Structure 1
Amino acid sequence: MASRDERVRAELQAEGTLLEGYHPRMEAVHRANAADLRALMEEHGWPSEALVGPEGAEAAWLVLQHSIAEPGFMRHCRTLIDEASRIGLVPRWQFAYLDDRIRVFEGKAQRFGTQFDLTPDGPELNALEDPSQVDRWRREAGLGPVSEVLSRARGLPLPSHEEYASKQVAGNLWRRDVGWVT
């Protein structure tokens, strides 16, 4: 599943169409992978490291992170990963990224500072629930300081003001249509 995701992502990136909205080919892969992961989970539960090894568990997390067109599934799995990470079955950073991603899609502030936007002026973190606690929460999840997120993002190609505004409008419409927000 993860290989299929990465292959199509690379093809779309090579075509120059990956970042032009949610590409239908990418969405089809994400939906198919979510269905496969859901079926696997019905039979075996969450694919933890004990069940599928570290690479398999990380692949399952990647598939889940990319199941963005299925809010209910992602929210359900957030609960499972929260519980599994609290008892050491999966790394806590997996919960941190998933929780932040869901919160940002819902229009809420993130906790761990894993999500950012590339704006015309450079990378900017999405809103934080508590900026004074973010680095502590990141450490507890096994992540480095939030400043590293922005440092890694510097140097990425920035959109024009028009591209950014268009992406924001399209993203808001998509989030509503998919069911992240009402």
Structure 2
Amino acid sequence: MESEKYLRDISDIRNLMQRSSRFISLSGLSGILAGIYALTGAAIAYILVTSSGRPYLILDGYTFRMVLLDLLLVALLSIGTAIYLSTRKARKNGEKIWDSASKRLVVNFLIPMIAGGLYILIILDQQKYGQTGALMLIFYGLALVNASKYSLGDIRYLGYTEIVLGLISALLPGYGFWLWVAGFGIMHIVYGLVMYFKYDKS
């Protein structure tokens, strides 16, 4: 009897420590919606490029600016949805949305993302944009792996997948668009569904 109480106390302490050091209110539904946004954005970009009369983008062209706006809208929708749904989940669970754990999560996620974003802008300015999709996947994957230390550990598996897809895209640049679709669209939906049924639904 005493041993069972002791083990239960240890389990409670471990759970408390995990909650204080990790932000665990990420919503699986936000991952699903981010994937849907990415697939929709990719479809719009594909239509824009194929209807432009060229099989490629010109950096100073109208089509490129529209595709860039398309990507920006996808990113903003994904971020906004993640913040809204995670905030709602945290409040439902009686947890703080902005504490030391969530701050560490955001900082560790943003470091690779900002570095990667700046690097991509530099190579775009140099008109070296053949590897842009691969770099997006790789730096996003690195950001997820880096942030997973301060959130649900399952996130790192999505990060590993994004990195692998990015490396394949670098090897096969002709398939970069479809690998981007797989990484940001399909894999987000798969990850979101796993997280939803593993954490949210219960």
Calculate the TM-score normalised by the size of structure 2. 0.30
Higher relative contact order (CA 8 A, sep 6+): 2
Relative to its length, the structure with more strand (as a share) is 1
Relative to its length, the structure with more helix (as a share) is 2
